Amino acid sequence: MAEPPAFLSAQDVGSFAYLTMKDRAPQILTKAIDTLHRHKNEFFEKHGEKGMEAEKKAISLLSKLRNELQTDKPINPLVDKCIDTDIWNQYLEYQQSLLSESDGKPSWFHSPWLFVECYMYRRIHEAIIQCPPIDDFDVFRECKDKNFFESQESISILCTHLQQLTRSIEDLDENQLKSEFFKLLQISLWGNKCDLSLSGGKSSSQKTDVVSSLEDLKPFIVVNELEHLWTLLSRYRKTRAKASAVRMDIVLDNSGFELVTDLVLADFLLSSKLAAEIHFHGKTIPWFVSDTTLHDFSWVIEQVKHCGDKLMFQCGVGWENHVKMGRWAYHDHVFWTLPHAYCSMPQVAPDLYAELQKSCLILFKGDLNYRKLTGDRKWEFTTPFHQALEGFHPAPLCSIRTLKAEVQVGLQPGQAEQLTASEPNWLTTGKYGIFQFDSPL
């Protein structure tokens, strides 16, 4: 087998990886510092002088981190004592082992982009947890919450759509059911436009009615393998005995509007009996600005319930019940916030891999998941998805992602060239999307 291609890296001046590390990453750190600063009074009211000292310390650690990044310093081992600290430091040693002696140490602009970007978020976490009593402060919570409130109108439209659909679900024939399923999947796809790390934490909420925009957005789906999902699920549905055992997994991405689109889809999967249980996978620590943690997951459900809108209230109550009854299960695992590509999961997190093997279908939401599925490498655009997964085949899976990084596989010959000709930045603006399916052979 030929060696897989090189990793994307900020070493490539002018690339999206380079611009991210040069411009966006320092901006995100500055914003985190500013957030801490603005909460100074709150820390004082809650914890007195100790809160103020902790805020100062956290700010100085984050400023130091920003300086290391901007001056391309070597990547330092983590100094905290969390369950993943050793794994991180071993990974750093592994990166070091890939370099020859003359290369020196792995540094911010001379290492794989996926590694250094993940490392930045892990270092933000390290900075905060070193600063009790504010060690549980999520520097990104404010932006995540803001995204939810600014998208409230779209969320209300979505909840209304879901409630109407649920009421008529028993009357839908096979084709109608399929069409509704595809609609909700597309809503969940376009929900992925709203991540906050791409906008450097600036507002990126959903303000239009995505339900009625779906037809107009269809031409922007560059890989559409939804038919495979339907074939798989309708097959399970027909073999009745199996239907009650259909488990689906959603590896979540962003909180706020995107999370609501995922919950709406998950609710439909149950009411249509396409699945009997949904397992969600979120992050254990604040991640890539907008990613969903357990707190965000519960918070969003609670907010939907208390928005003052009757149909949203019904959705919120229904979702709370799914959780209570175990039809929805939220899991988090430290692996999702490590820098490893998913092909390493069987070795690094065999328990998680075994868990995913129980699934009938795994949906991977978002761009970062795609980067980890494909190892964030410079694959040819026509490389088969199955090959780019490099042996990661726990169960049938589908990536649902808007394109926000320079990695894409499984395109038709000539397709990438055509896209480049019509829109040079097609890989990174989030305007295009994919549904890319793979099944173990």
Q: How far is the CB of 315 from ligand F1X (least distance, A)?
A: 23
Candidates 288, 299, 364, 385; binder of Mn ion (CB under 5 A) is 288
Q: Which is nearer to Mn ion, 126 or 253 (CB)?
A: 253
**Structural tokens at position 341:** 């590509």
Dihedral angle computed from the Cα positions of residues 299, 300, 304 and 306, in that order, rounded to the nearest 10 degrees: 20
Nearest Cα residue to 297 out of 283, 311, 276, 307? 283
Q: Is 198 in the site for ligand F1X (CB under 6 A)?
A: yes
Part in contact with Mn ion (CB under 5 A); list of ranges 78-86, 145-153, 188-196, 303-311: 188-196
Q: Which amino acid is at 61?
A: L
Q: Is 376 in the site for Mn ion (CB under 5 A)?
A: no
Candidates 195, 249, 267, 438; binder of ligand F1X (CB under 6 A) is 195
Part in contact with ligand F1X (CB under 6 A); list of ranges 125-133, 238-246, 334-342, 362-370: 362-370
CA-based torsion, 96, 101, 106, 109: positive or negative: negative
Q: Residue 309, exposed/middle/buried by CB under 10 A (0-12, 13-18, 19+)?
A: middle
**Which ranges in 130-271 belong to alpha helices (H)?**
141-150, 152-168, 174-191, 210-217, 226-238, 240-243, 257-271
Q: Is 253 in the site for Mn ion (CB under 5 A)?
A: yes
Q: Is 262 in the site for Mn ion (CB under 5 A)?
A: no
Q: How far is the CB of 398 from ligand F1X (least distance, A)?
A: 15
Q: How far is the CB of 314 from ligand F1X (least distance, A)?
A: 29
Q: Is 256 in the site for ligand F1X (CB under 6 A)?
A: no
**Do the strands 433-438 and 221-224 form a parallel or antiparallel pair, or are they unpaired?**
parallel
Three-class DSSP category at 108: coil
Part in contact with ligand F1X (CB under 6 A); list of ranges 36-44, 235-243, 364-372, 417-425: 364-372
**Structural tokens at position 306:** 């208390």
Part in contact with ligand F1X (CB under 6 A); list of ranges 35-43, 86-94, 156-164, 195-203: 195-203
Q: Is 377 in the site for ligand F1X (CB under 6 A)?
A: no
Q: Is 265 in the site for ligand F1X (CB under 6 A)?
A: no
Render the burial of 37-70: b for 16+ CB within 10 Å, e for the rest.
eebeeebeeebeeebeebbebbbebbeebbebbe
Count CB atoms within 10 A of the CB of residue 225: 16
Count CB atoms within 10 A of the CB of residue 306: 11
Q: How far is the CB of 287 from ligand F1X (least distance, A)?
A: 9
Candidates 11, 111, 152, 197; binder of ligand F1X (CB under 6 A) is 197
Q: Is 121 in the site for ligand F1X (CB under 6 A)?
A: no
Distance, CA of 48 to CA of 63 (rounded, Å): 23
Distance, CA of 71 to CA of 370 (rounded, Å): 29
Part in contact with ligand F1X (CB under 6 A); list of ranges 192-200, 313-321, 332-340, 392-400: 192-200
Q: Report 282-311 residues binding ligand F1X (CB under 6 A).
A: 288
Residue 198 contacts which entry, Mn ion, ligand F1X, none (Cβ below 5-8 A, type-dependent): ligand F1X
Q: Is 404 in the site for ligand F1X (CB under 6 A)?
A: yes
Candidates 256, 282, 286, 366; binder of ligand F1X (CB under 6 A) is 366
Longest Cα pair distance anywhere in the chain, in angstroms?
Answer: 69
Q: Which amino acid is at 268?
A: F
Q: Is 405 in the site for ligand F1X (CB under 6 A)?
A: yes
Q: Give how far Cα 143 sits from Cα of 133, 138, 212, Å.
A: 22, 10, 27
Residue 20 contacts which entry, ligand F1X, Mn ion, none (Cβ below 5-8 A, type-dependent): ligand F1X
Contact 110, 9 (CB under 8 A): yes
**Structural tokens at position 331:** 């899991």
Q: Is 257 in the site for Mn ion (CB under 5 A)?
A: no
Q: Give how far Cα 157 sits from Cα of 33, 118, 195, 207, 309, Å.
A: 35, 35, 20, 11, 11
Residue 277 contacts which entry, Mn ion, ligand F1X, none (Cβ below 5-8 A, type-dependent): none
Q: Report 22-61 residues binding ligand F1X (CB under 6 A).
A: 24
**Structural tokens at position 413:** 């010959």
Helices then strands, each counted (H, E), the chain: 20, 7
Q: Is 195 in the site for Mn ion (CB under 5 A)?
A: yes
Residues at the interface with ligand F1X (CB under 6 A): 20, 24, 117, 192, 195, 197-198, 253-254, 288, 366-368, 371, 404-405
Residues at the interface with Mn ion (CB under 5 A): 195, 253-254, 288, 291
